[in-house]
Amino acid sequence: MEPLSLQTAMALIEQSIAKATPADCPPLVGELARLQAAAWARMMRPTPEGTDDDLLTVPQVALRLKLSAYRVYELVRQGHLKSVRLGKAVRIRPSAIADYLAKPAA
């Protein structure tokens, strides 16, 4: 059996939403949120030309996440975003960003 194309899968999801009762909606919305997080994590995964050995600076991570550098430092300090310390410098692996994005929001 061949995997569904993205277009076919999206059409099936739209049909499911159209047929859903109001009671079906909360779990459906939860599942869509989980899929969205997984898609974001996949987008942030390194491409073949970039490896996980590429360490990013806090300003680079802030741009990717559309956050301030201060907020990124806070995420690192609170342990929500894993980092590597090189002396006083803070560096972040692309996989750590993907892991952070894949976590459900608190």
Tens of pLDDT along the chain (106 residues)? 677 888 888 898 899 889 999 998 898 899 889 888 888 888 777 665 555 568 999 999 999 999 999 999 999 999 999 999 999 999 999 989 989 998 877 6
- Amino acid occupying residue 71: R
Cβ atoms of residues 84 and 92 within 8 Å: yes
Place of tokens 């459900």: 104
Q: How many residues does the chain have?
A: 106
Question: Mapping DSSP to helix (H, G, I), strand (E, B) and coil, where does residue 54 land?
Answer: coil
Cβ atoms of residues 56 and 94 within 8 Å: yes
Place of tokens 């608190």: 106
* Sign of torsion over alpha carbons 60, 65, 67, 70: negative
DSSP state of 25: H
Q: Which domains, and CATH codes, for the chain?
A: 6-102 (1.10.1660)
Q: Cβ atoms within 10 A of the Cβ of 7, count? A: 8
